[in-house]
Chains A and B, each alone.
Chain A
Amino acid sequence: MNLNKHKLTFSFIALGIFLIGQFVFTIKIIEPYPAIILPGFGKFPEYSENTLSFTDFELHAVFSDGKAQVLQKEKVFKEIIPWHIPSNTYNLLTSSRFSETGSPKEMRILGYTFSIQRTKLVGMPKNKEAEFKKWLLERVIEVSESNEVVGLNIVYIKRTVKKGVLINEKVIDTKTINLR
């Protein structure tokens, strides 16, 4: 068999194997960029007695007197594409940033255990953290229109819907970033 003579067919076969490989890699380990993948939106919903629940989050400015004010997320992170804000906010809370809440996913490959972090969380030097907190404080003051801001709360809320009507909202977690 002459490989050169049929290189087009063999190239397509090789490409097919590569496409399958990158897809398996994506669903089992991590999504590279670029990859020939379209979104599946395949999440199993939380469902009971004709109600659907999903988790959302809000950003609250915390003031020196202990009071809080809901902020418009798109205004706080106005540089970022709106649908990237949830992942961006989550990243702020993962291990190498403001708290220890995030942990990498553990995978077993060929008998070895690997810690897989979906994104590269760059270890930021302390002066960058201070610089960012200063930036965030200025932004929260601008959006809340108050100089009394001392922190930012990221409030996770479970919302429940029945027949298209919102019937319940429950705070399930709150993370605080101190800005002073």
Chain B
Amino acid sequence: MTQKQSTLDNILIRADQWLREAYMISAEQLGLFRIVFCLTSIFVLGIPNYLWLGDVPGYLFSPPLISFSSLFNGFPPSWFFICVTSLLWICYIFLLFGYKTKLVSVAITVLHLVGNSFVFSFGKIDHSILLDILPFVLAGSGWGNSFSIDEKRNEISQNSPWTVTLMALMVSFGLFTAGFQKVAGGWLNTSVSSSYFSFISGFFKLDRDAFFAPYLSTYTNAFFWESADYMAVFLELLFLILFFFPSKFRVFLILVSLFHLLNVLMFNISFSGYLLIYSLFLFWNFNPKKLENYIFNLLNFRSVAIAIAIALSYLFFVNSISELPFRYRPSVINLFVSQLFNEYQLYTGLIICITFFILILRQKINIRPVKSNAIISED
């Protein structure tokens, strides 16, 4: 082997090791993350409901040219959406209890992508993609190896810690694309603040007038708004570099979370579901033993069957009353929050942001490893 080959080999060995260990977290945290992900999806964010697509006239069908729905010449019949939606709910319940975790993780992403390709068949694509692909990316992470029925049945799969690194790459790249599009679209022009323009058009066109919005609509300080323009672009572009520096990546995740909170309060735009994803890369401070006792009492066939029955009854009840938030992403919390879609999104967004920061302030979520239950990363 020549010296050149040996150097290259050494670099590749170090790269392999870095990819495996850079974002490594404990199996217990992954298991707990799986449970929190499912509970947040069911109770707060809502699991998508595709049943309403069965009522839409076929004439409005205009899918993205490159998508699964593009293979069709119109919306499929109602039974198709009943199957996709019911299967999605069942898969979430299985994932919550950690039953056939690998299989249902892949199934959840596939069902999301199939259903969403029809939701986005009115000429607009929404960008919930990171939440949709998360179960697929983590399918091989071993997130079903703790606090799960799989663990009780000794059906533990091999851990692939690099899957968390892969998710970090997706988040970094996603944020980078947002920053890049801003720069390419003239966001940083100095004649007028693009943030202010976005804010004003949302305020008048989409009635985004809650929280701080009424006070900000007349606040035209150029320095304030231009700073907001540059801050947003700087943060988003920086993430592609931060991916290679996990400890700094985690610090900036907190800053971006603050940015999301300000977005909710000022612009009334909620991307707060992403805070759930960010929490995957941070270190959770909890007592695995205490939690294990509590969770293992719930893990049995009877609990899963009852949960599936409740979830499906809830889904069909929701569809029958046809109120806006219920139709698209029914969650338990929207029974109590609001019937209006924008308000529902805003308040749930605010709840997630506040919960996230309370957990950080109480040091339940940390940017540094917690000795008791996390594996120290090497960056």
- Does B189 touch A at the CB level, under 8 Å? yes
The reply to whether the CB of B192 lies closer than 8 angstroms to some CB of chain A is yes
CB distance from A80 to the nearest CB of B (A): 6
Also in contact, A90 and B123, with CB within 8 A (given A52-B196, A135-B57, A164-B220): yes
Interface centre among A8, A27, A44, A118 (most CB of B within 10 A): A8
Count A/B pairs, Cβ under 8 Å: 213
**Residue on A with the closest CB to B124?**
A87
Q: Which of A36, A85, A92, A163 has its CB near the most chain B CB atoms (within 10 A)?
A: A36
Smallest CB gap from A80: residue in B: B122
Contact with B along A90-124 (1 / 0, CB 8 A): 11100001000000000000000000011111101
Task: Point out the residues of chain B lying under 8 angstroms from A56, CB to CB.
Answer: 204-205
Partner of B120, one of A9, A33, A117: A33
**Interface 0/1 of A70-88, CB less than 8 Å to B:** 0000000001111111111
Q: Does A170 touch B at the CB level, under 8 Å?
A: no
Chain A CB within 8 A of B129 CB? yes
Does B283 belong to the interface (CB within 8 Å)?
A: no
Residue on B with the closest CB to A31?
B125
Number of interface residues of B (CB under 8 A): 83
Q: Cβ of B57: which chain A residues have Cβ within 8 Å of it?
A: 131-132, 135
* Chain A residues within 8 Å of B185, by CB: 40, 42-44
* Chain A binder among B15-23, B37-45, B330-338: B15-23
Q: Distance (Å) between the CB of B210 and the closest chain A CB?
A: 15
Q: Which residues does chain A contribute within 8 Å of B79, judged by CB atoms? A: none
Interface size class on chain A is 35 or more
Contact between A37 and B182, CB atoms less than 8 A apart: no
How far, in angstroms, from A10 to B179 measured CA to CA in the complex? 27
Smallest Cβ distance from A7 to chain B, in angstroms?
9
Known contacts A52-B192, A88-B123: does B129 contact A8 (CB below 8 Å)?
Answer: no
- Residue of B at shortest CB range from A139? B57
Given A40-B180, A44-B189, A54-B201, A9:B64 Cβ within 8 A: no
Contact of B55 among A23, A79, A132 (CB under 8 A): A79
Interface residues of A (CB under 8 A from B): 1, 5-6, 8-9, 12, 15-16, 19, 23, 27, 30-45, 47, 50, 52, 54, 56, 79-88, 90-92, 97, 117-122, 124, 128-129, 131-132, 135, 159, 161, 163-166
> Could you list 26 A-B pairs, sorted by A, with CB under 8 Å?
A8-B16, A23-B177, A33-B64, A33-B66, A36-B129, A39-B127, A40-B184, A40-B185, A41-B198, A42-B183, A44-B186, A79-B55, A80-B56, A80-B122, A81-B341, A84-B123, A88-B123, A88-B124, A97-B59, A119-B64, A120-B63, A129-B59, A132-B58, A132-B60, A161-B200, A165-B218
